[in-house]
Structure 1
Amino acid sequence: MKVTINEIAKEAGVAKSTVSRYLNGGRISQKTSDKIRRIIEEHNYEPNSFARSLKSKKTGFVGVVAPALDSFVTSKILIRMDEELRERGYTTLISNTSHSIEREIESLQNLQRQKVDGMILFATELTPAHFELIETLTVPLLVIGQETDRTHCIVFDDYQAGYKMGEYMALAGHKNISYIGVDETDIAVGQRRRKGIEDGCTENGAEPIQFFKSGFDFDSAMLAAEKCLRNSQASAIICATDTIALGAMRVIREKGYRIPEDLSISGFGGYTVSKMIHPSLVTVEFDYLETGRMAAATIVNLMQSDEVDQLQRPHFTIRKGESVKGKK
C-alpha cells in the first residue's frame, strides 16, 4: 500500500509542510531531515514530481552542463554534487558537450526551456556568447571553473596554486624551470595559473620560466614535451595538469632521461593515477569533494533566493611525491 505525505508527517511527528519543505529542498534541521529520509526509504515513497511542479511552479530539476564527463576533475565534483542535491530533493539533468562551445550554449538554452530550477556550468572558457545568454536567463546559474562578475562562480585559486608550485620547485633548488601550459583563452589555467607559477619561481630565486604550449589532451602534451626537451636546458618541468605531466613523463622516459635524477616534473589536479605511478607525481590537489558540496549548497540557496557569496574558492594542497629532486 502506497504511503501518503500525511502519513509520513504523522510517523515523523512533524507537520505536513515540513515534509513538503524536505521534498523541495527547503531548510529544516539535520535531525528532522534524517528522520524524514529514513521513513521515506522504509516505505519506498516516491513523490509525484509532476504534481509538485504544477503546485509549486518548481520542477525539482537542476541542469548541469559539462565539457567532458570522462574528466577526472569534473566526475569527482559531479558525483559529490549529485549526491548532495539528491539529499536535498533535487534531480540532476546532465548534458555533455564534448568541448563544443556551440553545444554548451545550446544545452543551457534547452535546459531553460525544460524549466529546470537552476543550472550549473562547468566552464573551460567564457565567451561573448555566454555573457549574452546569461543576460536572458530566468533561473539561477552557477559557473564552476571560470570567474566572471556576471553570475555566481566557484573557482579554484589558480594564481595561488601556481605560485605555491613555482615556489616549491624553486626552493627545491631548481633555477632553470620550463612550463608546459595551455592557451591564454582559458583565463583560469592559461593565464592565472601560469602567472602564479612565473611569480612563484622568480620570487624564490629561479630564472624566468620558458613556456611551451599544449592542449589538455595526452597527445598534445607529448608533442609539447618533445619541443621542451629539444629547446630548453631545464632541470625541472611544471605542467598545467596531471594529464599533461603524464604525457611529458612518457616522453622523458622514451628519450632516456630519469625522473627525478635527470629531470624533475610536477602537475596540477591530484589525479588518483598520479600517486599510483612510479615515481609518484608531485601535484597540486584541489578539494573536489568540498567543491561538489559547495556547488550543491550554492545552487540550492540561489534557487531559494538566499544570499550567497558571488565568488567562492575551494581549498588546495601540494601533494608530495617522488618526481621532484631535492624534495621528499
Structure 2
Amino acid sequence: MIRTIADIAKIAGVAKSTVSRYLNGGSVGEATKKKIEKAIQDTGYTPNPFAQSLKAKKTNIIGTIVPRLDSYASSQTLIGIDEQLKEWNYQMLISNTSQDLDREIESIYSLAKQKMAGIILLATVITDRHLKAISEIHIPVLLIGQEHEEIHSVIHDDYHAGLAIGKYVLEKGHRKIAFLGVTEQDIAVGVKRKTGFQKALEARDDIDVSYFETEFNIPAAQAAAMKLLDSREHSIIVCATDNIAIGVLKAAYKQGLSIPRDVSVTGFGGYDVTEAIHPGITTAKFHYKEAGKKAAINMVELIQERPVEKLTTMNFEIIKRESVDTV
C-alpha cells in the first residue's frame, strides 16, 4: 500500500506539518523524531524527492531549457547533464520551448519561481531579454552552445572546427566550393563555423566560394540544395550542420547525382546517423554528452559558490568518411 505524509503522521500520532518539517530537515523534538522514524521504518515509506525538494528552502533540482527535443545535439547534451547530476544527487527538470523565444524567456522566470537551484540553458541566441531575465532571477544560470561575457558558458570550438574543415577541403583539392549555412543570429553555428572556414581559405587566391543560407531542418536543407545542385557549379558543399548535409544527400539522390563522385559533402556535429548512412558523411564531431557533463559540474560548483571559469571550450575531432572525394 502506498503511504503518504498524512498516513505517517497518523501512525506516529503527530501533525502532518511536523512530519513535513522532519522530512525537510527542520527542527523536531527527539521523542517526536523517533516516533516518525519508527512509522517510516514500519511502513517502508519513501518521500517523493521532487516534491520534497520543491518544499525545501534550497532545492537540488536544476532547470534545463532546451529549444527542441528532436535534436541529436540536445538529447546527447541532456543525457550528459542528467548522468552527472545523478552522481551528485541532483535532479534535472526539462523545459522544452519548441524554438519559441518568448517561451524561452518565460521558462527562465518560471523555473526560478519553482525554486530551481540553477538553470542550464541550451541557447541558440542571447538577447537583451535573456540578460534582463537572468539578472532578475538571482540564481545561477549557465549557457551551453553559446557564450556571453556576463554569463558562465560551455561551448564547442566552432571556429576552429570550421578552420579544420576548410583546411581539409583544400587538401582534397576542392576550389569551387559552396558553404550552406544558417542565420547569423546563431553566433556559434551561423557565424563562428563560417568565420573559421573563411579563415582557412584566406591564404589562397584560386578559390571560388559562394555562401548560402537555409534552416536547421532536413526538408528545408533539401529544398535549398535542390536549387544549389541545379547549377552544377561546385565540387563540394560544406554544410553548417549534419542535418543540412543529410538534406544535401537527399537532394543529390533525387537529382540522380552520386556522392562523392558528382559532388562532395561535409557537415558539423558528428551525429550517429552520419556513420550509419551511405556514404558516411565527413564531419567535425562535437562531444555533446561530455559538454553536458561539464555543464552539470560547473553548475553544481556555482551553486556551491565555488570559483568556475567563465568560459569552457570543448574539443572536437574531424571524422573523415566517404562523402568527400579528391579533385
TM-score band by shorter chain is: 0.7 to 0.9
289 and 205 in structure 1: CA distance in 2 versus 1, 3 angstrom threshold:
farther
The residue identity in structure 2 corresponding to 1:319 is I
The whole-number CA distance in structure 2 between the counterparts of 1:44 and 1:176 is 69
**How far off is 1:202 after superposition?**
3.5
The whole-number CA distance in structure 2 between the counterparts of 1:200 and 1:231 is 25
Match of 2:244 in 1: 244
Q: What's the CA shift string for 1:159-187, capped at 9, x where partnerless?
A: 10001001111111001110110011111
Does residue 102 of the first structure (1) align with residue 102 of the second (2)? yes
Match of 1:195 in 2: 195
The whole-number CA distance in structure 2 between the counterparts of 1:241 and 1:215 is 10
Q: What's the CA shift string for 1:278-323, capped at 9, x where partnerless?
A: 1110011111232121011000000000000000011100111100
**How far off is 1:230 after superposition?**
3.0
**How far off is 1:208 after superposition?**
4.9
Verify the 8 A CA contact 1:181 1:240 in the aligned structure 2. yes
308 and 279 in structure 1: CA distance in 2 versus 1, 3 angstrom threshold:
same
**How far off is 1:201 after superposition?**
2.9
Match of 2:290 in 1: 290
Q: Structure 1 stretch 220-229 or stretch 106-115: which is displaced more?
A: 220-229
Does residue 79 of the first structure (1) align with residue 63 of the second (2)? no
* Equivalent residue runs for 1:221-300 within 5 Å: 221-231=221-231, 233-300=233-300
**How far off is 1:227 after superposition?**
2.3
The whole-number CA distance in structure 2 between the counterparts of 1:49 and 1:290 is 26
**How far off is 1:126 after superposition?**
1.1
The whole-number CA distance in structure 2 between the counterparts of 1:144 and 1:279 is 31
The whole-number CA distance in structure 2 between the counterparts of 1:105 and 1:180 is 30
The whole-number CA distance in structure 2 between the counterparts of 1:125 and 1:52 is 31
Q: For the pair shown, which has the larger CA radius of gyration, 1 or 2?
A: 2
Q: Unmatched 5+ residue regions in structure 1?
A: 1-42
The whole-number CA distance in structure 2 between the counterparts of 1:204 and 1:164 is 15
Q: Unmatched 5+ residue regions in structure 2?
A: 1-43
Verify the 8 A CA contact 1:174 1:206 in the aligned structure 2. no
257 and 302 in structure 1: CA distance in 2 versus 1, 3 angstrom threshold:
same
Verify the 8 A CA contact 1:118 1:299 in the aligned structure 2. yes
The whole-number CA distance in structure 2 between the counterparts of 1:175 and 1:70 is 35
Match of 2:92 in 1: 92
196 and 51 in structure 1: CA distance in 2 versus 1, 3 angstrom threshold:
closer
Verify the 8 A CA contact 1:176 1:206 in the aligned structure 2. no
The whole-number CA distance in structure 2 between the counterparts of 1:131 and 1:144 is 15
51 and 282 in structure 1: CA distance in 2 versus 1, 3 angstrom threshold:
closer
Identical counterparts, % of pairs: 40
The whole-number CA distance in structure 1 between the counterparts of 2:185 and 2:318 is 26
The whole-number CA distance in structure 1 between the counterparts of 2:288 and 2:144 is 11
The whole-number CA distance in structure 2 between the counterparts of 1:163 and 1:204 is 14
Q: Structure 1 stretch 79-88 or stretch 318-327: which is displaced more?
A: 318-327
Verify the 8 A CA contact 2:54 2:115 in the aligned structure 1. no
The whole-number CA distance in structure 2 between the counterparts of 1:181 and 1:232 is 19
**How far off is 1:46 after superposition?**
5.8
The residue identity in structure 2 corresponding to 1:61 is I
Match of 2:9 in 1: none
Secondary structure of 1:64's counterpart equals: strand
178 and 44 in structure 1: CA distance in 2 versus 1, 3 angstrom threshold:
farther
Verify the 8 A CA contact 1:270 1:284 in the aligned structure 2. yes
Match of 1:18 in 2: none
Match of 1:320 in 2: 320
* Equivalent residue runs for 1:1-328 within 5 Å: 57-203=57-203, 207-231=207-231, 233-326=233-326
Secondary structure of 1:135's counterpart equals: helix
